Every structure is written in C-alpha cells, then in structure tokens.
Homo-oligomer: A and B are copies of this chain.
Amino acid sequence: MILTVTLNAALDVTYQVPALIPHASHRVTEVAERPGGKGLNVARVLAALGHETTVTGFAGGPTGDVVRELLAPLPVRDALVPIAGTTRRTLAVVDAATGDTTQLNEPGPEVTPAEWAAFLGRYEELLPGTGAVALCGSLPPGVHVGAYAELIRRARTAGVPVLLDTSGEPLRRGVAARPELIKPNAEELARLTGAREPLLASHDARRRGARAVVASLGPDGLLAVTPDGVWRAAPPRPVAGNPTGAGDSAVAGLLSGLVMDLPWPERLVRAVALSAATVLAPAAGEFAAEAYRRLCAEVTVEETPAAA
C-alpha cells in the first residue's frame, strides 16, 4: 500500500467564465468540483496505475464532507482525520476563450494540537502496512513548521521510505530529517539551497539530507541526482495544455517506480510520461491513458557525469 498525506486537503472548484475582468460581474457558465490538495491528486493517479492507495490528512466542515463524498467512488482508501475547522476551497477561474486560469486559494482551517495528535495516531497505525509515504503540499494553520520532519522521522523508524513534495521552511526542515526523495521545482530548490543551477543545487540538497533529488524543470523534464547516478529525462517534444496537476502526476510516477524497485531510468520515464499525459488531458489533473502508454516509449533519459 502507498500512503499519501495531505494535511491541507482542498475542494478544487473550477469556474468557466467567458473572460475574467477585474471589478466586473460574471455569470459562471460551468462549475466543477473535485477532491484537491497535492496528496489527493497523487493518490488518484496511483490508483489509476493499479496501486493500492490510502489517503490521510485532515478534512472538516461542509467542504470536507464534499471532498469525502467525491473520494468515495474512487479506488482509494479514505483515512482522513476529521477536524472541527472547514477544509479550504481552491478556486480556478478559467477564461473559456483562451483557457488561461486565475487561481484563488483559501488558507485552510486552523488545526488544533488535539487534532494533530489524533493525526499522528492514525499515521502510526497506517505505517506498518505501507510501502512508501508521500508528504505533499502546504501546511494548514496551527500545524507546526517541523511537521513533515516529524513524519519523516516516524516513517524512518518504521522502515518506510518517504517522498517529500513541499516548499519553504517545511521543505528545509523536512530535508534535514533525511527523506528518501524530494521533488522540488527549480525555484523551490534555489530557495532551499541558495544555488540557482539545478545540478549544483540538487547536490547541495543531498548534502542537507535528501537521499535523492528529482528536480522538475518544467517543459524540460526532470533532473535526478541519486546515490546510483545522475539522469536527465525529457518528453520527446514540448506538450501544450493545462499543467495543473502535472507535478503531482510526476510524484505518482516516482512513487510507483519506488515501490516496484525499478531502476532510476524507468522511474523517470514513468514520471515524465505521466506528467506530460496530464498536461495533454482535457480535464485538469487527469491523465490521458493512451498518451501515457505512447509517451512511455518516447521519453528520453540520459545519464550525465555525477560531478558538480
């Protein structure tokens, strides 16, 4: 079983409008809702790949109820912990003509110390049956900034590898707790290390505690700096579409390869192909299954000298 943790889960709401004009009034032509937050996105892709997947984190209030209702029909086990606060909404306003998106993210509910303790209890119960853990996204108000570091230490004690996908101070503290893998983008990596060059910065992040670093370089694909070598993986050609969720699909590909103990180049092919197939899918955060299969044969992986 793969466990994904989404401490700041969300109800993703998408509005279609003809065009967003500040200070005007708009009639929304279409409303869509789905469970959101990086860990829930990762879980959905893992389940579609056939992995037994469990989600945990927090859910509360009317929006939390909607998230759980929308999760129920998916092949994902819901182990979210109830809270008194209300799960946030994240709103994407899509201009129908251009496809351009304006994002409005609510901050999330205040989590109490008792709720955090209840979550740690649930997490400890789940770890023994878990092949890998993904810790994903931002922390809600009330959760201490070293939360991911604490979760990594507990997983290490249980012998479970952790993929950490977050940013800022929670990433910095998490890296020091020695996760198996981090998946920053170039910007997050530069903020963590002070180095703007991704290869240099990835080596630096390894020295800070990450066993492996997979940096996402946007349309240029992935750079993996690992104990086994350094690789660059890229799609065969640029893909145009909606990049929402592409990073989460890459995380799912890396986790899938990790629990199957695939060699690094195969893990990277999976991650890049899923990511590109997500950009190509018409619905945000879904992946185009046919495109994924085709891209798996087309992604290029090059080994590069490890020295930096």
Binding site for B on A (CB under 8 A): 15, 17, 20-29, 31, 62-63, 65-66, 91, 93, 95, 100-107
Contacts and interface: CB of A to CB of B under 8 A. Distances in A.
B26 A101 contact: no
Nearest to A65: B62
User: Lowest 6 CB-CB distances: which A-B pairs, in order?
Assistant: A25-B103, A23-B100, A62-B62, A28-B106, A20-B22, A26-B104
Contacts of A21: 22, 102
Contacts of A103: 24-26
A107 B23 contact: no
Contacts of A25: 102-103, 105
Contacts of A22: 20-22, 95, 100, 102
Nearest to A20: B22
A107 to B, nearest CB: 6
A101 B26 CA distance: 11
Contact of A63 (B20, B24, B62, B104): B62
Copies in the complex: 2
Contacts of A105: 25-28
A23 B102 contact: yes
Contacts of A65: 62
B66 A104 contact: no
Contacts of A107: 27-29, 31
A222 B291 CA distance: 62
A100 B66 CA distance: 31
Nearest to A15: B104
A107 B105 CA distance: 22
Contacts of A106: 15, 28, 31
26 contacts: A15-B106, A17-B104, A21-B22, A21-B102, A22-B95, A22-B100, A22-B102, A23-B95, A23-B101, A24-B103, A25-B102, A25-B103, A25-B105, A26-B104, A27-B105, A28-B104, A28-B105, A28-B106, A28-B107, A29-B107, A31-B106, A31-B107, A62-B63, A62-B65, A62-B66, A91-B91
Nearest to A98: B23
Contacts of A26: 102-105
A27 B31 CA distance: 21
A66 B62 CA distance: 7
Contact of A93 (B17, B29, B95, B104): B104
A26 B31 CA distance: 19
Given A29-B107, A62-B62, A65-B62, A24 B93 contact: no
Q: Which of A20, A63, A102, A104 has the most CB of B within 10 A?
A: A104
A21 B102 CA distance: 8
A101 B25 CA distance: 9
A27 B106 CA distance: 6
A243 to B, nearest CB: 12
